[in-house]
Amino acid sequence: MIEESAVILECAGEYAQAQTERSSACGGCSSRSACETASLKEEADRPPDAVLRVLNPIAAQPGERVVIGFEEHALVKASMALYAVPLVTFILFALLGQWLFLSEAMAALGGILGLAIGLLWLRYFATKVSGNEHYQAVVLRRITEAREAPECSLDIDVSS
């Protein structure tokens, strides 16, 4: 399971809008203050944080910090559909156009047709899996902010 921290923005039934918090390796580095790359990164405009529609089985409320998760196998399958299917249909139809008509122009047209077919299939796939819970990010747990300071007793003499 791939996990990321987020803040719940709003709730709607069994779903919620969650805003992820972008982070980088620079944030935890002990040499951050002396690193030129980190200072350049801070000066560059950061892209906005992502807002996702997530399943909310724990009924997290707006403003709560939570951990959201996404199944790894679903990410791999969706990535393959997104990248491989249009590319493979493009190549196959281009080869088919070249083989059938022995023309580079028909190979180009076949490739464009194959790309269009691959993108149409991708649209069908996206609508099919949009309601599938295995392809949805899920709120896994609340993040408890343990900011309570330990009780300390400082004996300070203020009488002098």
Looking at residue 20, its amino acid is T
Looking at residue 101, its amino acid is F
The H or E element that residue 129 is part of is helix 104-129
pLDDT value of position 50: 81
Q: Say which residue, 77 or 90, is predicted with more confidence.
A: 90
The H or E element that residue 52 is part of is strand 51-55
| Model confidence pLDDT, tens digit, residues 102-150 | 889 999 999 999 999 999 999 999 888 877 888 888 888 888 543 443 3
Q: Are the beta carbons of 60 and 17 closer than 8 angstroms?
A: no
| Model confidence pLDDT, tens digit, residues 37-88 | 555 555 454 556 788 888 888 888 888 889 988 888 888 888 888 999 999 9
- State both tokens at 80: 């393959």
pLDDT category, 25, cuts 50, 70, 90?
low
Cα 141 to the chain's mean position, in Å? 18
| Model confidence pLDDT, tens digit, residues 5-20 | 888 888 888 888 888 8
